[in-house]
Amino acid sequence: MCKQFFLGIDGGTSYIKASIMDSEFNLLDEEREYVSVYTPFDGASEIDMSDYWKRMCRMTHALKARNPNIWDQIAGVGVTGQGDGLWPVDEDGNPVRNAILWNDTRSRVIDFEGIEGLEEAIKDDCTNAVYAGSVTALLKWMKLYEPENFRRIRWALHCKDWLNFKLTGKIYTDYTDASTSMFNIKTGEYSQRILDVLDLSECRRILPEVVESTRIIGHITREVAELTGIREGTPVIEGAIDVCTVALGTDVMEVGNSCTIIGTTLSNQIILDPETMDQADKRGLLMHNVVPGTYLWILPTLSGASTMDFIKAMLFADTPYPELEEKLKEIPIGCDGLIYHPYICGERAPFKNPFATAGFFGLTQAHSKLHMMRSVFEGLACSFYDCFQAFGGKFNTLYLSGGASVSPFVCQMFSDVIGKPASRIEKKEMGVLGIIRVLQVALGYVKDYSQFPRQKVTVFQPDMDRHAKYMEVFRLFKELQEAMAFYWKKRSQIKF
pLDDT, one tens digit per residue, over 293-343 is 899 999 999 899 999 999 999 999 999 999 999 999 999 999 999 999 999
- pLDDT, one tens digit per residue, over 346-397 is 998 999 999 999 999 999 999 999 999 999 999 999 999 999 999 988 899 9
Cis peptide before 354 (omega within 30 of 0): no
Amino acid identity, residue 24? Answer: E
Q: What is the pLDDT of residue 250?
A: 94
φ, ψ for residue 79 (rounded to 5)? -120, 130
Q: How far apart are CA 373 and CA 319, in angstroms?
A: 12
Q: Tell me: pLDDT of 114 over 60.
A: yes
493 CB-near residues (< 8 Å, 6+ apart): none
438 located within any domain: no
Q: How far apart are CA 9 and CA 19, in angstroms?
A: 6
Instruction: Confirm if 367 and 338 have CB atoms less than 8 A apart.
Output: yes
Average pLDDT for residues 22-43, to the nearest whole number?
Answer: 95
How many structural domains are present in the chain?
Answer: 2
177 located within any domain: yes
- pLDDT, one tens digit per residue, over 435-471 is 999 999 999 999 999 999 999 999 999 999 999 999 9
Give the 3-state secondary structure of residue 243.
helix
Q: How far apart are CA 209 and CA 155, in angstroms?
A: 10
Q: Are 214 and 267 in a shared domain?
A: no
Q: How far apart are CA 346 and CA 301, in angstroms?
A: 9
436 located within any domain: no
What's CA 429's distance to the chain center, in Å?
A: 14
Kindly state the helix (H) or strand (E) to which residue 11 belongs, with its residue range. Answer: strand 5-11
Residue 140: name the closest of 159, 171, 115 by CA: 115
**How confident is the prediction for the chain on average, in pLDDT?**
95
26 located within any domain: yes
Q: Are 264 and 171 in a shared domain?
A: no
Q: Tell me: pLDDT of 3 over 80.
A: no
Q: Are 322 and 462 in a shared domain?
A: yes
Q: Tell me: pLDDT of 1 over 60.
A: no
- Burial of 455-489, coded b for 16+ CB within 10 Å and e otherwise, reads bebeebebeeebbeebeebbeebeeebeebeeebe
- Burial of 304-343, coded b for 16+ CB within 10 Å and e otherwise, reads bbbbbbebbeeebeeeebeebbeebeebebbbeebbbbbb
Q: How far apart are CA 269 and CA 245, in angstroms?
A: 12
Q: How far apart are CA 179 and CA 466, in angstroms?
A: 39
What's CA 242's distance to the chain center, in Å?
A: 6
Q: How far apart are CA 39 and CA 180, in angstroms?
A: 24
200 located within any domain: yes
Average pLDDT for residues 228-254, to the nearest whole number?
Answer: 96
Q: How far apart are CA 235 and CA 214, in angstroms?
A: 11
Q: How far apart are CA 404 and CA 309, in angstroms?
A: 10
Q: Are 78 and 112 in a shared domain?
A: yes
Q: Are 139 and 232 in a shared domain?
A: yes
Q: Where is the domain boundary, 238, 267, 286?
A: 238
Q: Tell me: pLDDT of 127 over 50.
A: yes
- pLDDT, one tens digit per residue, over 387-433 is 999 998 889 999 999 889 999 999 999 999 999 999 999 887 899 99
DSSP state of 3: P
| pLDDT class of 274 with cuts at 50, 70, 90 | confident
Q: Where is the domain boundary, 211, 238, 265?
A: 238
Q: Are 323 and 215 in a shared domain?
A: no
Q: What is the pTM of this model?
A: 0.90
Residue 96: name the closest of 147, 140, 58 by CA: 147
The sign of the dihedral angle between the CA atoms of 272, 277, 281, 287 is: positive
Q: What is the dihedral of CA 145, 150, 152, 158, to 10 degrees?
A: 120
Q: Are 223 and 309 in a shared domain?
A: no
Q: What is the pLDDT of residue 2?
A: 63
Instruction: Confirm if 307 and 379 have CB atoms less than 8 A apart.
Output: yes
CATH of the domain at 480: 3.30.420.40
Structural domain containing residue 9: 5-238
Average pLDDT for residues 185-205, to the nearest whole number?
Answer: 96
Q: How far apart are CA 339 and CA 363, in angstroms?
A: 8
437 located within any domain: no
Q: Are 265 and 184 in a shared domain?
A: no
One DSSP character per residue, 306-321 reads HHHHHHHHHH-TTS-H
Instruction: Confirm if 414 and 260 have CB atoms less than 8 A apart.
Output: yes
φ, ψ for residue 465 (rounded to 5)? -70, -45
Residue 345: name the closest of 138, 133, 104 by CA: 104
280 located within any domain: yes
Q: Are 259 and 148 in a shared domain?
A: no
One DSSP character per residue, 194-217 reads HHHHTT-GGGGGGSPPEE-TT-EE
Q: Are 231 and 301 in a shared domain?
A: no
Q: Is 9 left (phi over 0), alpha (psi -120 to 50) or beta?
A: beta
Q: How far apart are CA 370 and CA 328, in angstroms?
A: 6
Q: What is the pLDDT of residue 426?
A: 85
Residue 62: name the closest of 235, 265, 283, 228 by CA: 228
Q: Where is the domain boundary, 208, 238, 268?
A: 238
Average pLDDT for residues 132-136, to the nearest whole number?
Answer: 95
